[in-house]
Structure 1
């Protein structure tokens, strides 16, 4: 038995050493914290772990229970982060708390079989958590309110440390990486806890420099006048049906480098690039491997994720009231508007968000009758059937705007299914995930051909817009990169941009200008669709038309600027803030 002095020494040693071990173990799920996390960042992570341990110590008045609690939290958070990174190629960020409901809805479609590394790290945590019984320092004579007071004091110290760690000058002086647009690298060199602390200030959106609500309103009024003047010059107005399909994980991985397959995985889409009455190119999006709703948000609203916190999901954080978007605008022009998704309505809060964006009608998985499944998801072919059914049942002579988000190609791609046999093989790559992904894309390609073939024979003028929300995660892309001498862990800036590009096309069953290599970004695509359809642009989209001349591509990961843009990015930022947070208030 230890005497009182020995218990105090053991307790202090445990309270000092265990938090350090917890930090390095948490990092060990995915990488080596000793070698990959920068020296100053290692120190600051340890400070955070130490302060939390002492807060818990004074709350519980027991070193054993303080260290057990911190160990369990660190073990769980690290494992959650490792799985999230493996599924979407991005680490956890503070805003993921808003995505828990969506994550749970798709969790059973992922493979949670732990790797050997995960098991070893968990066993390390368990060993330390079990050993803390030897650090049984207790403050038995300390009253609970005194312990609480001490914990509050340390919380204040922790808040001060957190504030300092969030200051840009301090970060730069201590080589803390603070570029939010490269979240994986930021997490790898800063460590999980420190990165979370550095990202917390971005959970809310501040007013842009020089923002004035009245000035924003006046500027949009001027653009509304300009839009009406442009409309007076527009000829051959059609008011066509507009059918938009944002296809889950649809992309052409050939953009990452050359690879050979036993057969073309998207022959119809390739044939449409350059076809008559078709506009095609590459769409630059702000997400990769996940966060589908952000591409959806950019397309429907004209807003850009470039001005919002990295990792945030506007559907869950910012769309809390009616905002102007394509469906609300087209509803005002006499269109019937439909928001459709063959999965649960709660995904990304679409059942709440869609009405706020102006969709008159919504349809989710329970509304897809006689649905066909590929793996565990409703097929793209079933989406095509639902679109045709909706068109045939709409009011005659009244145009419709239909926005469909598919699910067929959702990850993961590693499991085997009786109803899906991959038939696309890549020479020199034995990846089952890559084969499954390309085989799913081939089925999407067939569904797209069926849809366009149907509307070729429809008398009503109809426009079909088709694009992917993002590329698949690194597990799928890695074999293609390796065939080209690259790796997802050390991509150049230019190669990283390629991971955020997906093909798109705009096709009409009537005459429109044919354009190829019309690369753009998701925030401009809605404007381009309205323009191609000959529809008067709303004021905000008219502004985007002018702004695009100076910044033809703008996303959370890429900015392409003309030599001397006439409109500053801050002007766009101000109008976006007005549209998203201040309009109508």
Structure 2
């Protein structure tokens, strides 16, 4: 009988499909390492999404100067900690964060390409505007993106189920009740702490905010509010995004009080009275039409390409023979609502806090009324009408126009004509101008019409069957420029027909026409060939059916258009316009980080003489008082501007 040997010890084996067995503390350490590395990777993706041709110092500013990259990663890691604490799954939580990171990075890249600015916290409003989003990105692309994001999350869920070490369960049943409660309390404490730290980011711009202090290590003056592309590149995507979180619209100017505003008002009442003694004209029985022409510019002024024909010969003739000039746009490829705000209120975006990227979205809807040209003209017998051939909620215009006091808002579905040209998805400028004429003809009272067109809004790719030929560039850029130029030609014809129709109708009418910005269709190479104000200059003119004097005005901001209109009409002005006129003698154009003198030279506040500095200080006081202050001076400085 043979001797039976004892069984040899069997080494434990692990199925590759099973999750590794580790102690809870080992699993927690693993989770910490994986989540931190994932957060750093997500931060890097966001950084890369904001790169552009001028980002030469990106590596140094991101990884050497200060702690912006570390701070970005820390914010994302805290979000991951919250998700892990709630789901008890590391890989799944990472997959969710990665999916959202991809969405934000792509959106940032698209917006930079279209408007030369990164995404802001206020851009969340556009998520409610399905029609606008679909005009920017095709439904096919959105479906592909949606499927891709779902795939990322599902893949993370599958990988986590297969290979992630077991985490301590939310309610560990194998432990005594006391230890079960301890485990729950520990997890809840971690989540609560992470949420508390994240909550502080919402107050990023408050004095002494610890998060802002981390970003400012090494240099407290590195916030480049005048150029948000540079701001995001220098301070990290998350840092730039947090810097643009909502904050107080303006700091309280030194000396602001009722007594100060009374003294200021008296000065400008005297100034207005002095001006009005010499003026003999009037706008009381005259239609006033304010036309913001979407993306209207003069591409023949740009370097780097040539067009086979001048797209705006009729408008050019008006510019050369009447009262005209150029406008300094706030942005390249965007900022329409901001230019409209400046036109209607006389308030400068450049005097607000840099974080107030859109008054239409972040300021005006918070009020029941707001001082504007709408109330001013309405109090002088004009019937205010807004016309915008697009969705009413775009930039919250439906709310803003109500606050301003428009009697009627005519939009895309209520216009009598809604024609499109060729394959352009936006309503034509001719239909928009015809609507203005129709409103004027139907009213016994003089009108104040604010028209914001849409025909030349991006995208312009393939809009027309006969794009204008382009030399000097090729490929997609040539196609975009050619289609854009053809759109301008259609605007040129429609505008000439509109003005001719007004003149033949016998209706006394004045028109302020201006382009809000250049379109975001040009390559980095073309932009580089047009430095300085080359990509921030659009034409404007002031036209009257009673005749037009030849006069060239300095490069201006829309804040000055109403005083210029009254000057052209030789009509009496309120004290507010006297204040704007006085500022215009020293500062003709003012936007965030940029100021021009009457010679068109860029200057700083320190370059102004004492009279110029006082005029700017007065403008700052009045803007604060009109917007978020006590409105001590509104009824005297701009009587009737509140409806």
Assess same fold via TM > 0.5.
Answer: yes
Q: 2:554 maps to what in 1?
A: 518
Q: Deviations over 1:367-390 (max 9, x none)?
A: 212321131111011112111111
Q: Give the superposition deviation at 1:144.
A: 4.2
Q: Deviations over 1:209-266 (max 9, x none)?
A: 3322442254235423532442232124354322221101111133432632111111
1:192 pairs, out of 234, 237, 243, with 237
Q: Distance in 2 between matches of 1:552 and 1:183?
A: 23
Work out whether residues 455 and 509 of structure 1, in 8 Å CA contact, stay in contact via their aligned partners in 2: yes
Q: 2:472 maps to what in 1?
A: 428
Q: 1:246 maps to what in 2?
A: 292
Aligned residue for 2:506, secondary structure, equals coil
Label 1:528 to 1:284 Cα distance change in 2 as closer, same or farther (>3 A): same
Work out whether residues 250 and 467 of structure 1, in 8 Å CA contact, stay in contact via their aligned partners in 2: yes
Aligned residue for 1:348, secondary structure, equals helix
Label 1:21 to 1:298 Cα distance change in 2 as closer, same or farther (>3 A): same
Q: 2:584 maps to what in 1?
A: 548
Alignment map for 1:170-249 (pairs within 5 Å): 171=216, 173-174=218-219, 177-200=222-245, 202=247, 204-237=249-282, 239=284, 240-249=286-295
Q: 1:96 maps to what in 2?
A: 123
Q: 1:489 maps to what in 2?
A: none
Aligned residue for 2:438, secondary structure, equals helix
Q: Deviations over 1:181-233 (max 9, x none)?
A: 10112222332112112332646543233322442254235423532442232
1:139 pairs, out of 164, 168, 182, with 168
Work out whether residues 371 and 378 of structure 1, in 8 Å CA contact, stay in contact via their aligned partners in 2: yes
Alignment partner of 1:105 is 2:131: yes
Q: Give the superposition deviation at 1:94.
A: 1.7
Q: Distance in 2 between matches of 1:137 and 1:198?
A: 39
Q: Distance in 1 between matches of 2:127 and 2:262?
A: 36
Q: Give the superposition deviation at 1:76.
A: 2.3
Q: 1:491 maps to what in 2?
A: none
* Residue ranges of structure 1 left out of the alignment (5+ in a row): 487-494
Q: Give the superposition deviation at 1:470.
A: 1.3
2:374 pairs, out of 327, 335, 342, with 327
Q: Distance in 2 between matches of 1:176 and 1:563?
A: 23
Work out whether residues 360 and 400 of structure 2, in 8 Å CA contact, stay in contact via their aligned partners in 1: yes
Q: Distance in 1 between matches of 2:190 and 2:304?
A: 61
Q: Distance in 2 between matches of 1:536 and 1:64?
A: 69
Q: Distance in 2 between matches of 1:363 and 1:220?
A: 36
Label 1:201 to 1:242 Cα distance change in 2 as closer, same or farther (>3 A): closer
Label 1:124 to 1:389 Cα distance change in 2 as closer, same or farther (>3 A): closer
Q: 1:3 maps to what in 2?
A: 21
Label 1:286 to 1:30 Cα distance change in 2 as closer, same or farther (>3 A): closer
Label 1:355 to 1:218 Cα distance change in 2 as closer, same or farther (>3 A): farther
Label 1:259 to 1:48 Cα distance change in 2 as closer, same or farther (>3 A): same
Q: Give the superposition deviation at 1:166.
A: 2.0
Deviates more, 1:431-440 or 1:51-60: 51-60
Q: Deviations over 1:336-374 (max 9, x none)?
A: 221111112222222222132232222111221232113
Aligned residue for 1:550, secondary structure, equals coil
Q: Give the superposition deviation at 1:143.
A: 4.6
Work out whether residues 329 and 339 of structure 2, in 8 Å CA contact, stay in contact via their aligned partners in 1: yes
Alignment map for 1:350-369 (pairs within 5 Å): 350-369=397-416
1:289 pairs, out of 329, 333, 353, with 333
Q: 1:387 maps to what in 2?
A: 436
2:62 pairs, out of 19, 30, 37, with 37
Alignment partner of 1:154 is 2:165: no
Work out whether residues 327 and 557 of structure 2, in 8 Å CA contact, stay in contact via their aligned partners in 1: yes
Q: Distance in 2 between matches of 1:122 and 1:59?
A: 21
Q: Distance in 2 between matches of 1:207 and 1:281?
A: 34
Q: Deviations over 1:498-517 (max 9, x none)?
A: 32221001111224542125
Work out whether residues 326 and 554 of structure 2, in 8 Å CA contact, stay in contact via their aligned partners in 1: yes
Label 1:175 to 1:128 Cα distance change in 2 as closer, same or farther (>3 A): farther
Q: Give the superposition deviation at 1:449.
A: 0.9
1:64 pairs, out of 83, 91, 116, with 91
Q: Distance in 1 between matches of 2:261 and 2:166?
A: 61
Indicate the structure (1 or 2) with the bigger Cα radius of gyration: 2
Aligned residue for 1:471, secondary structure, equals coil
Q: Distance in 2 between matches of 1:16 and 1:545?
A: 56
1:301 pairs, out of 325, 345, 348, with 345
Q: 1:406 maps to what in 2?
A: 453
Label 1:539 to 1:283 Cα distance change in 2 as closer, same or farther (>3 A): same
Label 1:9 to 1:151 Cα distance change in 2 as closer, same or farther (>3 A): closer
Q: 1:504 maps to what in 2?
A: 540
Alignment partner of 1:46 is 2:73: yes
Deviates more, 1:289-298 or 1:423-432: 423-432
Q: Distance in 2 between matches of 1:172 and 1:508?
A: 56
Q: Give the superposition deviation at 1:84.
A: 2.4
Give the ranges of 4+ consecutive aligned residues of structure 1 lying more than 6 Å apart after TM superposition: 121-130
Work out whether residues 38 and 189 of structure 1, in 8 Å CA contact, stay in contact via their aligned partners in 2: no
- For CA contacts below 8 A with separation 6 or more, give which structure has more relative contact order: 1
Q: 2:309 maps to what in 1?
A: 263
Q: Give the superposition deviation at 1:525.
A: 1.2
1:529 pairs, out of 565, 580, 584, with 565
Deviates more, 1:446-455 or 1:306-315: 306-315
Q: State the number of aligned residues.
A: 562
Q: Give the superposition deviation at 1:545.
A: 1.0
Q: Distance in 1 between matches of 2:525 and 2:482?
A: 10
Work out whether residues 62 and 136 of structure 1, in 8 Å CA contact, stay in contact via their aligned partners in 2: no
Work out whether residues 246 and 356 of structure 2, in 8 Å CA contact, stay in contact via their aligned partners in 1: no
Q: Deviations over 1:429-464 (max 9, x none)?
A: 222111111110111111111112223334343212
Aligned residue for 2:471, secondary structure, equals coil
- Normalised to the residue count of structure 1, the TM-score between the two structures is 0.87
Label 1:243 to 1:409 Cα distance change in 2 as closer, same or farther (>3 A): same
Q: Give the superposition deviation at 1:54.
A: 2.4
Label 1:536 to 1:477 Cα distance change in 2 as closer, same or farther (>3 A): farther
Alignment partner of 1:344 is 2:391: yes
